Amino acid sequence: MKNNIFISIDTERDQPIIIGKPPEVPPPSTPEEAKEMILVDITCVTEALCRLIDIAHQNSYGELTELVDAAIVTIHSMKTEKPEESTKTSDEV
């Protein structure tokens, strides 16, 4: 499977995180296609996070359990935050 996603993080911008697709990737034309694309993107970004954590652990930059636990806490906080407290980012899909 080939999937292209770009993630731009710049803490000095008003919108620090921008997620999007390269211009050559056609935008979805139906809500069903958009849903499928977003779900595939979430899977790919999650797998990329797991790979990044694994690389950090293999290179002794962090303990695997601590890195995984920190990621889980961050993700879990989305379930417990009130909507107005959550970090808002705009996806360029």
CA 87 to chain centre: 13
Quick check: is 59 in a domain? yes
CA-based nearest residue to 90, from 16, 34, 38: 16
Per-residue pLDDT of 11-66, as tens digits, reads: 999 999 999 999 999 999 999 999 999 999 999 999 999 999 999 999 999 999 99
Is residue 41 domain-resident? Answer: yes
Domain assignment present for 90: no
End-to-end CA distance of the chain: 19
- Map tokens 């652990």 to a residue: 57
Q: Look up the pTM and report it.
A: 0.79
Sign of the four-CA dihedral 14, 19, 20, 22: positive
Identify the residue with better confidence: 13 or 93: 13
Pairing of strands 6-9, 91-92: unpaired
Assign 85 a pLDDT band (cuts: 50, 70, 90): low
Q: Which residues make beta-bridge pairs with 91? A: 19
Q: Note whether residue 63 is domain-resident.
A: yes
User: How many domains is the chain built from?
Assistant: 1
